[in-house]
Amino acid sequence: MLIRVGSRGSRLALTQAELAATRLRASGVEIALVPITTAGDRDRTKPFGQIGARGVFVKELEEALLENRIDVAVHSAKDMTSSDPEGLAVGAYVERDDPRDALCGANEIRPGMRIGTASARRKAQLLALEPTLSIEPLRGNIDTRLRKRGERGLDAIVLAACGLDRLGLAHEIGLRLDPSVMLPEAAQGALAFQVRAGEEELVARADDAETRRRVEAERAVVAAVEGGCLAPVAAHHDGTTLTALIAAEDGSWIERRTGEDPAALGRELLDASRRHA
């Protein structure tokens, strides 16, 4: 049996796709990798909010699934929208890697630093932590952002630790930021295998139940918030506690809550944000 696995074409995405292929080959199938370019890959200059925010790295892969050009799409789960499009489902979440954000170029956050990131979530939390920071927009794949840090003389940049680990670049990390300091993006560190609804069995053997439990709770919080607010949102389940936050992008306010019911937690965050309106 041949399974066509779709992936973005970046070095990290293809590394992740090969990880997916290894998991699937173990069940006795043949794999053909199909690189696909997404909107987020084509436009590497505009802030994410101007080209579609969540989903800019997955839409074309989802279209390929729906059009039967591929059988499985491999995503960084954090790039996905908070709910699956009609006709598609996540058939498996691979066991999660390090969900934390990583500071590259420095081993601590100091007043007045110039830090590069394109993430509104990271910007908000960094400025709430240290208002004197200068947060500068930075787009591109991991290699590009690491190079631009030196070219632009930035003191540090913030990247997902899991991506650096997967590419063998852990030596670039000066500090892994604890979730108590910077709450990660919902689903960060997890890979999702998306399939057409009803075809989950194609990838079911790769599913890690504990990763699914945590990631789906995080995605549900974001889904509960996104309908009523465009402010930066973060969510992380550590296995025991589900924590989420909402913040002003300039870091002027931040609301962090914990709870067991993702939908209720999302509503609580929305209510808290409206008090700052």
Catalytic residue among 54, 71, 79, 98: 79
- Residue 149, pLDDT score: 96
CA distance 89 to 85: 8
* Phi and psi at residue 247, to the nearest 5°: -155, 160
Catalytic residue among 8, 139, 149, 166: 139
Catalytic annotation present for 139:
yes
CATH number of 101-177: 3.40.190.10
- Residue 51, pLDDT score: 42
**Topology alike, domains 1-94+189-207 and 101-177:** yes
Could you tell me which residues are beta bridge partners of residue 158?
Answer: 103
- Residue 55, pLDDT score: 67
- Helical H runs in 39-139? 39-42, 48-51, 59-66, 120-129
Catalytic annotation present for 25:
no
Catalytic residue among 145, 149, 196, 214: 145
Catalytic residue among 23, 78, 123, 214: 78
- Fold designation for 1-94+189-207: D-Maltodextrin-Binding Protein; domain 2 (3.40.190)
Catalytic annotation present for 147:
no
Catalytic residue among 23, 54, 100, 121: 121
Catalytic annotation present for 104:
no
DSSP-based helix, strand, coil % in the chain, nearest 5: 35, 25, 40
- Residue 179, pLDDT score: 97
Catalytic annotation present for 205:
no
Catalytic residue among 114, 229, 256, 261: 229
Which stretches in the chain have pLDDT values below 50? Answer: 48, 50-52
CA distance 76 to 57: 9
Catalytic annotation present for 256:
no
- Residue 228, pLDDT score: 58
Catalytic annotation present for 229:
yes
Quote the pTM value.
Answer: 0.89
- Fold designation for 208-277: Double Stranded RNA Binding Domain (3.30.160)
- Residue 42, pLDDT score: 54
- Residue 254, pLDDT score: 96
Query: Angle, nearest 10°, between helix axes 142-151 and 11-25?
Result: 150
Ranges of each domain in the chain: 1-94+189-207, 101-177, 208-277
